[in-house]
Amino acid sequence: MKRVLITGGAGFLGSHLCDRFIREGYHVIAMDNLITGDIRNIEHLFHLPNFEFYHHDVSKFIHVPGELDYILHFASPASPIDYLKIPIQTLKVGSLGIHNCLGLARVKGARVLIASTSEVYGDPTVHPQNEDYWGNVNPVGPRGVYDEAKRFQEAMTMAYHTYHGLETRIVRIFNTYGPRMRLNDGRVLPAFIGQALRGEDLTVFGDGSQTRSFCYVDDLVEGIYRLLLSDHPYPVNIGNPSEITIKEFGEEIIKLTGTSQKLVFKPLPQDDPKQRQPDITKAKAILGWEPQVARAEGLRITYDYFKSLPEEELYRAAYHREFVKK
């Protein structure tokens, strides 16, 4: 049985990856410090003999006994409300964390796949964004802690690939949604659905003309799985190229929820990207991958998940474990 370590395994994407690798017959080791992850996302796996959970901060030295075939580094705060509140931890997991994972991979002879992001493109001047675009990022702006952590992570990974000959894969993830997202994580989809369920007006930042492209989580996991097993060491965009403005998206959510709220407009945060749409030409050619789940279907599944949550979840503020400031 092949063994895979998934850092950030209790998070939104990490937990879905745990499920997928369990279904594929792997021995799965999930690692998470639970600063933004939730143990409830993986507790349904605890009874399985081929699942382990390590409560650990990947920014510190990591040791996993036994053989490892694959390491997927998905540990990181991933929404503005997270990385603006815990900026140092965000930078550390993208620097110290990836260094630890790559070092472990060298010792184990494992292949590493890292979760990068469309945020490496910053506020893009090229549209749609392809993997050859170097980005337009403000390194000292409020979003810089996340954007630059991911850019450094890519550079470190490629250095280990070229210098040490380590097998590496890099996925650039675009906006993704689905069950297990946190209602309070500040991203537009859970924010809109949470406001609709609470009977509040939907908050749009800016005039709503900025665009996003939303990929359902099952499609994303399929793309990641194919990339891991491919022989392509360079970055690959995985996302849904179906683009929509935030204003149009808010109107879709109101229609989906059958509520009577209206959209209210507030100033756009600094460095918020105006456009976000993946060019998935490489994913199609190299992986034979493209998204299969239509946005209407994915939103219905996600809305049903949020509706099933206890009422107190609707009103819970964003929560992070307290860490010593360093």
Provide the 3-class DSSP secondary structure of residue 73: strand
Give the residue numbers marked as catalytic: 146
pLDDT given at position 44: 98
Domains belonging to the chain, first-starting first, are 3-177+215-238 (3.40.50.720), 188-212+242-274+294-315 (3.90.25.10)
24/3 Cα distance (integer angstroms)? 11
> Terminal CA-to-CA distance of the chain, rounded, Å?
40
| Beta pairing partners, 113 | 72, 169
DSSP 307: H
56/74 Cα distance (integer angstroms)? 14
Which secondary-structure segment (H or E) carries 12? Answer: helix 12-23
Per-10-residue mean pLDDT, the chain, length 326: 98 98 98 96 98 98 97 94 92 98 98 97 92 94 94 98 98 97 89 90 92 96 98 98 94 89 86 86 98 96 94 71 47
pLDDT given at position 325: 46
- Provide the token pair at 123: 């506020």
